[in-house]
Structure 1
Amino acid sequence: MRSCTKGILEPAAGLAALLLFWQAGAMALDRPILPGPVTVLPLFFQHLWGDLGLHFMASAGRVILAILIAVCTAAPLGLVLGQSPHINRFFSPVITILYPVPKIVFLPVIYVLMGITDFSKIFLISLILFFQILVVVRDEAAGLTPELIASVRSLGAGRRALFRFVYLPATLPAILTALRVSVGTAVAVLFIAEQALTQWGLGYYIVVETYQVLRYPEMYTGILAMGLLGSLLYGLIRIIERKFAPHLFIKDTG
């Protein structure tokens, strides 16, 4: 109970401090470019049930679909590379070259090859998550000892049983950690990809529908919605971690 109360109070205190600093900054600057939360928050809750909510759903749909694509493609490939040294040696140089490259630079290439569609934006986000998941799953799978796999096989386990009782439990924490670390980057890339050549999404709402026409209070509602999207995704991943990988959390001993 104590740890639960502490877990609720600490974020609430941080949010309250942020709002106070924001309001103080708005009062000190006293310019339309920085309206305070007293002005923005009522608009946020009002517009969230209107056009802002539709833009939010469009962005959320793109990110969630990109996560599903990345997990379903990178995790199996990471398992193969981790358990097949010969295949890993073949692909490792390519991964080493592409992994540190900011994937946003491929946006024009993706637009040329796939067209300016929702799928091209989803593909870009999934590409970022793909390499994050691929590398950590490969390393986790490579760390599984042959003795462990042999002992499970000696009990008559086939490929499906190995996946369920060995590979999945061993790599799921790595997948969730990679998602949690890269979710902020994914939302940032989504913002860039949605700034133009689309009519729905928080990036379009912030840049085209509000900033370019000097609707500054509405612009901040879009920023809050983008922050809410990232926070919800991060929180969802943490909930899944608590459910399926509780050893990732340090217990409160106070």
Structure 2
Amino acid sequence: MSRRNLLLAGLALLLFWQGIAMIIRQPILPPPSRVGVVLWEEITRGALGVHFLASLWRVVASTLLAILTAAPAGLVLGQSKRLNALFSPLIYLLYPIPKVVFVPVVLLFLGIGDLSKITVIFLILFFQILVLVRDQAMGLRPELVLSVRSLGAGRLALFRFVYLPASLPAVLTALRQSIGTAVAVLYVAELFATQKGLGYYIYLNGSALFNYPAMYAGVVAMSLLGLGLYFLVDGLEKRWCRWQIVS
């Protein structure tokens, strides 16, 4: 998608927001111009930047942890029929469950710190990456592996030239599909017993302080967090998986 189309879509959303705000004329829906001013003030002189960095850290940490654990596990399951048959029923049962239901349980066991919030997002990303990488590895042609082995390649060379290129598209696709859900669950997780994070910032200004422009500034910041991560993954796919795009 071109940058021009993205800018036009963003402009259309702002105009729609402005029109609805002019029709309603209520404090609960300030115009985007007012929210933009508050957003800039909160970033430069307020605490919004601190909350943004706290949320960004939780998402990045959980994403890296999910990649480092789920991608190798998916490759192993995809290449081993015995292990896949053993673990598939468990994955089949756990994968469809909305991971947001585990928020209270995780908070009870891990407390109210960053670890519990990172764990909840990790659970979402883990199963998405695991399933897609496993399916990708199962579709890997055996003759491709045999041909590389016939050239004297060891495990490291197989990982570098066969398994890693084969799994990268699945990992990036899983991340793209999970970003929206992960940010939504982050908002829910940050409502519980915390004083840092965009979820806490939005709830505080909207439900406690009734500072609606600041609340919408937090919503915009969380939206930008999700969009930024989505475009980052999209850019990495274009950079690292050029062979797939060309084909």
TM-score with structure 2 setting the length: 0.96
Amino acid at match of 1:130: F
> Match of 2:7?
12
Q: Contact 1:78–1:141 at 8 Å: present in 2 too? A: yes
Alignment of 1:144-155 (within 5 A): 144-155=140-151
> Match of 2:179?
183
Amino acid at match of 1:114: L
CA distance in 2 between counterparts of 1:199 and 1:105 reads: 22
> Match of 1:77?
73
> Match of 1:232?
228
- Taking structure 1 as reference, are residues 248 and 219 closer, same or farther at Cα in structure 2, changes over 3 Å only? farther
The count of aligned residue pairs is 246
Amino acid at match of 2:33: V
> Match of 1:53?
49
Match of 2:29 among 29, 34, 38: 34
**Residue 250 (structure 1) shift:** 7.9
> Match of 1:143?
139
Mapped pair 1:202 → 2:198: yes
CA distance in 2 between counterparts of 1:230 and 1:250 reads: 27
**Residue 200 (structure 1) shift:** 0.2
Q: Contact 1:195–1:208 at 8 Å: present in 2 too? A: no
- The gaps in structure 1 that reach 5 residues or longer are 1-5
Q: Secondary structure at the match of 1:48?
A: helix
Q: Contact 2:54–2:196 at 8 Å: present in 1 too? A: yes
Query: Per-residue displacement from partner, 1:41-60 (whole Å, max 9, x unpaired)?
Result: 11111212230111000000
**Residue 249 (structure 1) shift:** 4.5
**Residue 248 (structure 1) shift:** 5.2
Identity of aligned residues (%): 55
Query: Per-residue displacement from partner, 1:165-190 (whole Å, max 9, x unpaired)?
Result: 00000110110011001100000000
Q: Contact 1:241–1:248 at 8 Å: present in 2 too? A: no
**Residue 210 (structure 1) shift:** 3.7
TM-score with structure 1 setting the length: 0.94
> Displaced runs of 4+ in structure 1, greater than 4 A?
247-251
- The gaps in structure 2 that reach 5 residues or longer are none
CA RMSD of aligned residues (A): 1.4
**Residue 212 (structure 1) shift:** 2.2
Amino acid at match of 1:119: L
